[in-house]
Structure 1
Amino acid sequence: MTPSPAYATAAPSGNWLSKTEAWLDARGKGAWIALTVLSFIFFWPVGLALVAYMIWSKRMFSGNKSMMSCNTRRMTPARFRTSGNAAFDSYKADMLRRLEDEQEAFESFLQRLREAKDKAEFDQFMEDRAKNTDERSSDA
């Protein structure tokens, strides 16, 4: 008897229906959805039966563990994740610190720019107001 390769998996025992179900489960929710859409296209009662089965077996609304771990990974900020390479992590931390410093400097520059613009607009308003007041007092 020859040893089975590491990538080979044992086929599920049972009828063709349970084998098909196991095959679709191994490929994830996308395979179930694709099969349902194709079933609706070719013969709608089968598509309807698949939707009913997916709801009844809670396949449609159950969370996929690999998707959850991917979502959890996505929600973790990049700066808190480590790559496992200490040199790269040090470089990344230094680069992020420099970028944050640049961002703070740029935001303070924008703030000073806004304040200068506001001051110029206010000064212009005060000049216009003084001119209008002078014109009114000379007209009277």
Structure 2
Amino acid sequence: MTTAAYHAELPATAGWLSRSEAWLDSKGKGAWIAAMVLGFIFFWPVGLALLGYMIWSKRMFGKGCSHRRTNHTARHTAWAAMKPSGNSAFDAYKTETLRRLEHEQEAFEAFLERLREAKDKAEFDQFMDDRAKRAAEMAKVEEEA
């Protein structure tokens, strides 16, 4: 992957850390290991931090960094979807569709909230009924004694 290719996959707002990670991913696992070794040589906490990050992100034991590129591509695609296309009719359609989908998502989330509340109420009512039955049974046992 060329330098221009890995830059093209990142959104324009990507920070230097994201760009560095993408650059190392484009060079492969050897670049990560070289960066870690150089980190240990020049300032050992940097090498230790890189080692920890490589283990945490599964770069150390994975088959390679190529699966990370698809993540960058997905982020770039999501970012590019929000840019205007230049075609006003398509942009209006896209805006209306996104507004409709957001409205449907809000309605569905409201439905799920009502469903959770109904379930909670049913469970609470069941608890109160069981509690009342136990209290009545205890009162009956105390009367008999």
Report deviation, 1:75. 6.9
**1:70 maps onto 2:9 in alignment:** yes
**1:122 maps onto 2:61 in alignment:** no
Counterpart contact for 2:11–2:79, Cα < 8 Å:
no
Match of 1:131 in 2: 133
Q: Which has the higher contact order (CA 8 A, sep 6+)?
A: 2
Could you tell me how far apart the structure 2 residues matched to 1:138 and 1:69 are? 78
Could you tell me how far apart the structure 2 residues matched to 1:79 and 1:126 are? 52
TM superposition score normalised by structure 1: 0.52
TM superposition score normalised by structure 2: 0.50
Match of 1:5 in 2: none
Report deviation, 1:70. 2.0
Match of 2:110 in 1: 108
Residues 77, 86 of structure 1: alpha-carbon distance in 2 compared, 3 angstrom cutoff: same
Report deviation, 1:79. 4.9
Bigger fraction of residues in helix: 2
Structure 2 residue ranges without an equivalent (≥5): 13-75
**Percent of aligned positions with the same letter in both sequences?**
53
Q: Secondary structure at the match of 1:72?
A: coil
Report deviation, 1:82. 1.3
Residues 111, 101 of structure 1: alpha-carbon distance in 2 compared, 3 angstrom cutoff: same
- 1:94 pairs, out of 80, 93, 96, with 96
Q: CA RMSD in A?
A: 1.9
Give the partner amino acid of 1:96.
L
Structure 1 residue ranges without an equivalent (≥5): 1-27, 30-63
Could you tell me how far apart the structure 2 residues matched to 1:78 and 1:93 are? 14
How many residues are aligned here?
79
Could you tell me how far apart the structure 2 residues matched to 1:125 and 1:114 are? 16
Could you tell me how far apart the structure 2 residues matched to 1:77 and 1:105 are? 25
**1:85 maps onto 2:24 in alignment:** no
